């Protein structure tokens, strides 16, 4: 059982939902990323999605695009991001870490070298936005051999046949994109999410995490009620942008944002 599977199984047994925050590695500065990861865990994170900065983040809106720009100004590379996770693991051996990004940096590094380095650093899963499962033949066996969970996206428009196909190639969890558009682009329709997630559960036994549109404790609680976990990205990244020159204020601001979400999710436990 992978670290991701273990955490999600334990949460389900407790009747709790996963809180999965996203930040971009290297934003606002590479030296701060590991500390921010620990701050997220202290504030209630169950799994961390760590973004690999990329120059053309096609699925992301302006907030995360700017985070990538800030990180790339410091020349934050995929190798450095992997090193950040290795540093994080010196203190935290329990919290799963999922790398989220795009294919090009992984391809440039080399799939085998990336898989070896990721597994050695203690990375648990990889979500590659622009790599559909039918084109993942080169990386899938490498990930499987090293117990790296491949995580794929599902959209509101994804057909039943494709949901089944994606789930067959996935492990850990599937990421349901709650809105049509890029990150941070619209308000979430919880009733629609509830219907779609219930339908996904009919087609796969994998846990379903929901992202895009989670902005505060109220939306986190509403989405958590109908899913297995909530994925919080743009609002955290925007908070980083607003506090990028003051590390102490930044850590406090992230805590002030994430901890109420944790409490709201836990208040739903029967």
Residue-level pLDDT at 270:
45
Q: Which of 5, 27, 46, 60 is catalytic?
A: 60
- The pLDDT tens digits for 206-248 are 999 999 889 999 999 999 999 999 999 999 999 999 999 999 9
- The pLDDT tens digits for 56-79 are 777 777 888 999 999 999 999 999
- Greatest Cα pair distance, the chain, in angstroms, is 48
Closest residue by Cα to residue 47 from 175, 144, 168, 161: 175
- Is the separation of the CB atoms in 233 and 268 below 8 Å? no
> If one looks up domain 3-269 in CATH, what number appears?
3.20.20.70
How far the first Cα of the chain sits from its last, in Å, is 27
- Is the separation of the CB atoms in 47 and 96 below 8 Å? yes
Residue-level pLDDT at 269:
62
Residue-level pLDDT at 61:
79
User: What is the dihedral sign for C-alpha 192, 195, 198, 200?
Assistant: negative
Identify whether 13 is a catalytic site residue: no
- The pLDDT tens digits for 174-211 are 999 987 654 444 577 889 999 999 999 999 999 999 99
The conformation of residue 125, written as its DSSP 8-state character, comes to E
pTM (predicted TM-score):
0.95
Residue-level pLDDT at 186:
56
Q: Which of 49, 124, 149, 228 is catalytic?
A: 49
d(CA 146, CA 168): 18
Say whether pLDDT at 94 is over 50. Answer: yes
The conformation of residue 243, written as its DSSP 8-state character, comes to T
d(CA 189, CA 167): 24
Residue-level pLDDT at 180:
62
Identify whether 49 is a catalytic site residue: yes
């Amino acid at each position: 059982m992978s670290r991701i599977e273990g955490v999600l199984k334990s949460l389900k047994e407790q009747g709790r939902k996963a809180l999965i925050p996203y930040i971009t590695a290297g934003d606002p500065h590479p030296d701060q990323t590991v500390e921010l990861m620990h701050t997220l865990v202290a504030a209630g994170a169950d799994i961390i999605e760590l973004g690999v900065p990329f120059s053309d983040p096609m699925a992301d809106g302006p907030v995360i695009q700017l985070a990538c720009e800030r990180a790339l100004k410091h020349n934050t590379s995929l190798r450095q991001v992997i090193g950040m996770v290795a540093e994080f693991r010196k203190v935290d051996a329990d919290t799963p870490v999922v790398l989220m990004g795009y294919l090009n940096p992984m391809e440039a590094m080399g799939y085998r070298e990336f898989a070896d380095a990721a597994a050695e650093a203690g990375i648990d899963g990889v979500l590659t936005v622009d790599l559909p499962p039918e084109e993942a033949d080169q990386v899938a066996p490498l990930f499987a051999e090293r117990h790296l969970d491949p995580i794929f996206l599902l959209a509101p428009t994804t057909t039943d046949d494709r949901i089944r196909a994606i789930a067959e190639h996935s492990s850990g969890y599937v990421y349901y994109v709650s809105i049509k558009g890029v990150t941070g682009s619209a308000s979430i329709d919880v009733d629609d999410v509830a219907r779609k997630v219930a339908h996904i559960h009919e087609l796969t036994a994998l846990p379903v995490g929901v992202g895009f549109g989670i902005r505060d404790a109220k939306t986190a609680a509403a989405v958590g009620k109908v899913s297995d976990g909530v994925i919080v990205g743009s609002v955290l990244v925007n908070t980083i942008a607003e506090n990028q020159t003051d590390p102490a204020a930044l850590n406090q601001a992230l805590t002030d944002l994430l901890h109420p979400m944790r409490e709201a999710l836990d208040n739903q436990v029967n």
